[in-house]
Homo-oligomer: A and B are copies of this chain.
Amino acid sequence: MPEQTTTQIFDLGDFQLSTGFILPNAKLSYKTHGSLNPAKDNAILFPHFLGGAPEALEIFIGEDRPLDPRKYFIILPGLFGNGFSSSPSNTEPPFDQGAFPQTNIADDVIAQHRLVTEVFNIKELHLVLGWSVGALQTYEWAVRFPNMIKRAASIAGAPKPSPWTTLWLRTAIEEPVVSDPAWNNGFYTDPQAIQGGLRRQAHVMALTLPPLGFYREDEEVWRSMGFISRDDFISRFWEAFMVPQDPNNLITQSRKTRAADPSFGGDLAAALQQIKAKMFVVAFTGDMMFPPEECKRDAQRIPNAQFREISSISGHLTTFALTEQDRQAMDDVLQEILAD
């Protein structure tokens, strides 16, 4: 684990969202590791995933880890709706709770760009990378600010979610809480009143995110991750992840993910052609959300992209390095991405 750092807040002021709202006193949370060098050319931006927090990404950061703070200045930016940045759970009326405005991934990236340029005066990022919804942010970065990014890596992600993935977001993330008896249009008094819905989210995730065969009697992959039964895995991994979340915050993140599109409804192939970064498109075998064949197709649409498939028993969850093999595979691919 890296040295402890604290979450910081960048004041964005009154921030104009692409959805036609102005968010007063908007905030972007972030953490950093390491130091920006005098040339300001050692910065890595690593946005996080849906429901996640920077801490989850710190497994890759540390001395002798792929993202070494002795060498790199690593910025872990938040996104709107993550509970630390401006979110339904921490915003004043009229934009509190169920009335928090729709935001787009593009808004997050614009806010992150302001952080990078205004706070750190960085002109070029050595690397932008992200997993899952972090990868959606990476694509938005690579298309929107092509001259600012030297390297980019999408890890189990896509420029825009597939029809299956948007159905997943609606079914796994939104419906279980929106249908909860305590939901009250998002104006609940206590997020824990909706923990039934949060647990149902966890169950649909447990059903759909591990790869086929994960639970099979003759494989029981969860054993290699330290769980003693399928339901122990569901409780201590999925429910433990979901129950502390704020439902409105999750809905905000889910809706922006569903709408993600670097071409804003235009020509996505043309948008991807604009990417100048040296890009790695990394996929995990058995990932139902971002299947390798789809990621491979994405890589073929980007001028300077390479496709890598990581063979794993963990599918979409490979990033979490729940097994030693996954940890090694993730380390290896990050090292390759950073190699010159």
Taking beta carbons and an 8 Å cutoff, which residues of A are in contact with B? 162-164, 167-168, 170-172, 175-176, 179-181, 196-197, 200, 203-204, 206-208, 212-217, 230, 234, 288, 291, 293-294
Report how far A293 CA is from B293 CA in the complex, Å: 21
Contact A291 B196 (CB under 8 A): no
Contact B162 A216 (CB under 8 A): yes
What number of copies of this chain does the assembly contain?
2
Contact B196 A163 (CB under 8 A): no
Contact A172 B216 (CB under 8 A): no
* A208-B206 contact, Cβ under 8 Å, with A175-B200, A179-B197, A181-B181: no
Interface SS of A by simple majority: helix
B residues within 8 A CB of A162?
215-217
Closest chain B residue to A220 by CB distance?
A: B163
* A163-B291 contact, Cβ under 8 Å, with A203-B175, A204-B204, A208-B208: no
Contact A172 B215 (CB under 8 A): no
Cross-chain contact of A171 among B167, B168, B197, B207 (Cβ < 8 A): B207
Contact B172 A207 (CB under 8 A): yes
* A212-B175 contact, Cβ under 8 Å, with A181-B181, A230-B167: no
B residues within 8 A CB of A213?
291, 293
Contact B212 A288 (CB under 8 A): yes
Report how far A206 CA is from B175 CA in the complex, Å: 14
B residues within 8 A CB of A206?
167, 171
Question: Chain B's nearest CB lies how many Å from the CB of A231?
Answer: 9
